[in-house]
């Protein structure tokens, strides 16, 4: 039935019309795992029996009833789905509760059957966690990374295993794999999705859940199902004027778009990425939007230093709490170099240092808000400063955590755009509108003012209609179909 050619909405329609059963779709998804996962290393902890039991018990009457689905192996705690969370220290973790985000995803009727790979602690723009026995590779070019930290999700969707997958984004971890794998990824406004019951927020509010999809409409429908605060949430996003799904039914008003074809600091980016930005700017102009060259005047270097401190402390915290539960000290092989480096880095920070970092993040958010207050509705840039990196370039075995993130040639040089909007809390999306001559995807990054999710996704839908991308397929997918 060629599941890999359809998005999740279309597959659910097949099920609703009786033209396919959830069991048949699951069979095809598992067959795709068997065909391509050996090459990609994207899908782990498969729970086929749990998925079959859910089908037999009767699936919820949601918008994705019967559609096969995968959870990121980081967060999305669920009793039926053990997790490694990218780490040997957390191998085969079992949960006594279901997270609210998991319950909301399940209520859509998806058939969840496993998890996708993630780097240890969700840190890094690549997915090369040793607990999975090797790196996760890109279906467009297996010598390159699928991105991180939702790298397994990106590879699984791009390769046609599932039409959409759960991810999360604390510094670009949905948008980086979307750019690397030729998919659509959307980071909502801060606190749009729940974090309960185990947490109030992640990484001082910078982290959120999200989804990797082949179509804008799939992302919109799943975000609608997950949006809204849960019991005891410390704060909530501003109400949306319309739902994500309603927003994409009509084009947005004509918008004033700021275009940045350098980094936000003015440094040059890869010529292919720059060309992608310039071509997209022309496309927006042809659609009637007002396009101007501009970049935000904000302290991005201070923001990235603060981001690094917060995430370093967050890594040290989860390792400490895990060891406390296990009743032992850290042992060789428990964590990889990046986590060891983060622990050492955090040990050199004080409580006031951490709070100063949170203050810096909040100050940066004020700076970015002032940029949009100048009359800009959207900020267009590349998602990454380069096409997808080679596997091994950002290995998790490095222990120089600060240099890894913000040193010369580090993560911030490669991904200078995404984390800004985790820090500011503003909505942002990556769209697959460009491919290099070598056939590598290049994502285009669109960001909007705090709370303006509906207008941003409406623009994404307009761009999707103007330059469709859903039917593009990577070489790994084509080989599997041969």
- 149 preceded by cis ω (within 30°)? yes
Active site residue 350: no
Q: Which of 173, 243, 415, 424 is catalytic?
A: 173
The answer to whether residue 146 is catalytic is no
User: Is 173 an active-site residue?
Assistant: yes
Residue from 149, 168, 180, 381 carrying the catalytic annotation: 149
Q: Alpha-carbon distance 194 to 201, whole Å? A: 8
Q: Which of 72, 150, 187, 245 is catalytic?
A: 72
Residues involved in catalysis: 72, 149, 173
């Amino acid at each position: 039935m060629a599941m890999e050619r359809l998005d999740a909405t279309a597959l659910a329609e097949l099920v609703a019309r009786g033209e396919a059963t959830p069991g048949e779709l699951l069979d095809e998804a598992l067959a795709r795992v068997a065909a391509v996962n050996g090459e990609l290393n994207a899908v782990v902890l498969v729970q086929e029996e749990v998925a079959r039991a859910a089908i037999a018990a009767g699936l919820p009457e949601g918008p994705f009833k019967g559609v096969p689905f995968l959870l990121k192996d980081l967060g999305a705690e669920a009793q039926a789905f053990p997790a490694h969370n990218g780490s040997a220290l957390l191998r085969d973790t079992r949960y006594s509760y279901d997270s609210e985000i998991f319950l909301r995803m399940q209520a859509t009727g998806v058939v969840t059957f496993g998890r996708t790979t993630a780097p240890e602690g969700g840190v890094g723009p690549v997915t090369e966690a040793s607990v999975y026995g090797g790196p996760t590779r890109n279906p467009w070019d297996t010598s390159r990374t699928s991105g991180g930290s939702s790298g397994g999700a990106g590879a699984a969707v791009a390769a046609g295993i599932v039409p959409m997958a759960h991810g999360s984004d604390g510094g670009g971890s949905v948008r980086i794999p979307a750019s690397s794998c030729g998919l659509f990824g959307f980071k909502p406004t801060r606190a749009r999705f729940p974090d309960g019951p185990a947490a109030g927020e992640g990484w001082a509010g910078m982290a959120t859940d999200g989804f990797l999809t082949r179509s804008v409409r799939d992302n919109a429908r799943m975000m609608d199902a997950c949006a809204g605060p849960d019991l005891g949430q410390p704060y909530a996003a501003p109400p949306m004027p319309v739902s994500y799904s309603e927003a994409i039914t009509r084009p947005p008003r004509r918008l004033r778009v700021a275009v940045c074809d350098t980094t936000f600091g003015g440094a040059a980016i890869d010529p292919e990425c720059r060309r992608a930005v310039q071509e997209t700017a022309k496309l927006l102009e042809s659609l009637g939007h007002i396009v101007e060259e501009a970049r935000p005047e904000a302290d991005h270097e201070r923001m990235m230093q603060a981001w690094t401190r917060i995430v370093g402390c967050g890594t040290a915290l989860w390792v400490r709490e895990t060891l406390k539960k296990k009743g032992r000290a850290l042992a060789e092989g428990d964590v990889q170099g990046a986590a060891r480096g983060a622990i050492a880095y955090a040990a050199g920070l004080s409580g006031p240092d951490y709070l100063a970092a949170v203050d810096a993040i909040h100050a940066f958010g004020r700076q970015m808000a002032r940029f949009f207050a100048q009359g800009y509705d959207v900020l267009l840039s590349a998602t990454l400063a380069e096409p997808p990196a080679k596997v091994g370039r950002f290995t998790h075995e490095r222990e120089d955590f600060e240099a890894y993130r913000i040193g010369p040639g580090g993560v911030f040089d490669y991904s200078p755009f995404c984390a800004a909007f985790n820090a500011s809390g503003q909505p942002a999306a990556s769209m697959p509108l460009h491919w290099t001559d070598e056939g590598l995807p290049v994502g285009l990054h669109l960001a909007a003012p705090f709370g303006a999710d509906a207008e941003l996704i409406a623009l994404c839908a307009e761009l999707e209609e103007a330059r469709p991308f859903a039917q593009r397929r990577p070489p790994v997918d084509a080989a599997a179909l041969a």
